[in-house]
Homo-oligomer: A and B are copies of this chain.
Amino acid sequence: MTSDLHRLSATELARGLQSRSLTAEAVARACLARVAERDGELKAWVHVDADQVLAQARALDQGPVRGLLHGLPIGVKDVFDTHDMPTQYGSPIYAGHRPSVDAAPVALAREAGALLLGKTATTEFSTFQASPTRNPRNVKHTPGGSSSGSCAAVGSDMVPLAFGAQTAASIIRPAAYCGVVGYKPSFGFISRVGVKALSDTLDTIGCVARTVDDVALFAAALSGDKTLADLPVIQQPLRVGLCKPHADKLLPETHAAMELAAKKLSAAGAKVVKIALSPDHAQLTQAHIDIMAFETARALSDERQRHGDHISTGLRGVIDKGLQMNYTHYAAQLRYVEETRATLPALYARCDVLLAPSAAGEAPLFEAGTGDPTWCRMWTLLGLPCVHLPFTHGPQGLPVGLQAIGPMHADRATLAAAAWMMQKLRG
């Protein structure tokens, strides 16, 4: 059944590709056919060169098995530099831009045998201005941003794996809206060299897939931690800390998802406790907003000066705010974050993993923009590993889920906990 290969998970495909019972070309052809079928409507891709993809696939089939990702088709968010594909960062300033070098995570994926299927649509420099991408569950809705194309492509079975990057909510929120698994690792876990920068304190590379094992496999090839390819099985009863920041702004479907999760996970043997983040969430969210504005304003210095007319009004507003911000205020916010990070070990003495909202609720309508990043800002700021778990639906039939948030650098344990919870939540 070659024509259904695009529906398999990366882990399933990898078995066939590693044993050579499947060819990279057959997998590529199935994915390309799916792109041809769905992308006219979804607009997840900004660049796919089928001939180039098939030539790559044949070269992989003719050579030795290269690594963990051998022959797996992967979407590359178009803020990652690629030496053999255009890279536009979602901005008209970079129309036709051809980097001379691959971003480090792209080079590492290639080294592990990945088949780069093309570049996926992103918002302007990973900020707010939406790409034309539509939600694969309902094209009247946004896929979320900024990893819009990556999540739409994975959610519509065009590709089993895709790169994402998160500065505020850019992996977890679109994963939630598209009903896929999104993984934002611990800060610094995957090299971000060659990925268009917004904020040194926040920018984090991650990935999306349709299963937790798949994001773990992808990250095993990209990070220094190969043991992620084989996640441990949870033995002890998992201690899950339910956490509801900004509860007043949540939609009913997310309250319901929290209750459903508590019930199902308790029934499966987890110890579920309620956790209140200390200090106040609102303060952390504001610190994120301030630090991102201060750093983004400087990161885009050349674009602001030489191509200011081609920067959207929304982004220009953030830049102006960042330029006007007092250095003392910015440094005080950085210190505050450091102090808060120091309180996290006490929090994780009470639970193994937090479970918290990924977004307010279902995906908003396309015209309303890419959604509110409020529920991700604090976790990105704290640098903690986050995994979005899609497991239920809202009143409009669109996906709803929650994110698991683990301790700093405990990515393997967090993914293992996420895999266990995913199984119980979907059961």
Residues of A in contact with B (beta carbons under 8 Å apart):
83, 94, 97, 100-108, 110-111, 188, 191-194, 197, 200-201, 223-227, 294-295, 298-306, 325-328, 330-331, 334-335, 342, 409
Complex interface: chain B residues within 8 A of A103 (CB) = 302
* Interface pair B193/A197, CB less than 8 Å apart: yes
Chain B nearest CB from A210 CB (Å) reads 26
Whole-angstrom CA separation of A197 from B298 in the bound complex: 17
**Pairs A–B under 8 Å by Cβ, sample size 30:** A94-B100, A101-B302, A102-B301, A103-B302, A104-B298, A104-B299, A105-B301, A107-B301, A107-B302, A107-B305, A107-B306, A108-B298, A111-B301, A188-B200, A188-B334, A191-B301, A193-B197, A193-B200, A193-B298, A194-B302, A223-B327, A224-B294, A224-B298, A224-B325, A224-B326, A224-B327, A225-B328, A227-B327, A334-B409, A335-B409
Q: How many copies does the complex hold?
A: 2
A153 to B224, CA, bound (A): 40
Which residues of chain B have C-beta atoms less than 8 A from A299's C-beta? Answer: 104, 191, 193
B194, A200: Cβ atoms under 8 Å?
no
Residues from chain B with Cβ under 8 Å of A107 in the complex: 301-302, 304-306
B302 touches A83 (CB 8 A): yes
With A107-B305, A223-B327 known as contacts, the answer to whether A298 contacts B191 (CB < 8 A) is yes
Distance, CA A122 to CA B113, complexed state (A): 34
User: Known interface pairs A200-B188, A224-B330. Does A302 touch B409 (Cβ–Cβ under 8 Å)?
Assistant: no
Contact A295 B191 (CB under 8 A): yes
Q: Is the CB of A409 within 8 A of B331?
A: yes
B305 pairs with A111, CB closer than 8 A: yes
CA distance A191 to B223 in the complex (A): 25
Whether A225 pairs with B342 at a CB distance below 8 angstroms is no
Chain B neighbourhood of A94, CB < 8 A: 100
Instruction: For A103, give the chain B residue with the smallest CB separation.
Output: B302
Residue of B nearest to A187 (CB): B200
Q: Which residues of B contact A294 (CB under 8 A)?
A: 224
CA separation between A163 and B306, bound complex, in Å? 21
Contacts of A104 in B (CB 8 A): 298-302
CB-CB nearest 6 A-B residue pairs: A107-B301, A225-B327, A224-B327, A107-B302, A191-B298, A102-B302
Known: A191-B299, A409-B335. A305 touches B110 (CB 8 A): yes
Chain B nearest CB from A16 CB (Å) reads 26
Beyond A101-B303, A108-B301, A193-B298, 19 extra complex contacts between A and B, CB < 8 Å: A94-B100, A101-B302, A102-B301, A103-B302, A104-B299, A106-B302, A107-B301, A107-B304, A110-B305, A111-B301, A111-B305, A188-B200, A191-B298, A191-B301, A192-B200, A193-B200, A193-B299, A226-B327, A334-B409
Q: CB distance B97 to A97 under 8 Å? A: no
Q: Which residues of B contact A300 (CB under 8 A)?
A: 104
- Which B residues touch A193, using CB under 8 A? 197, 200, 298-299, 301
Chain B nearest CB, measured from A427 CB (Å): 32
CA–CA, A106 to B301, complex, Å?
9
State which of B110, B111, B201, B303 has its C-beta within 8 Å of the C-beta of A188: B201
Closest Cβ neighbor of A326 among chain B residues: B224
CB distance from A338 to the nearest CB of B (A): 8
Residues of B within 8 A of A303 (CB): 101
Output the nearest chain B residue to A99 by Cβ-Cβ distance.
B100
A412 to chain B, nearest CB (A): 9
Which residue of chain B lies nearest to A301 when distances are taken between CB atoms in the complex? Answer: B107
Q: With a CB–CB cut-off of 8 A, which chain B residues contact A304?
A: 107
In the complex, A418 Cα to B68 Cα: how many Å? 52
CB-defined contacts of A331 to chain B, threshold 8 Å: 409
CB distance from A20 to the nearest CB of B (A): 23
Give the most central of A193, A197, A305, A331: most B CB within 10 Å: A193
B97 & A100 in contact (Cβ 8 Å cutoff): yes
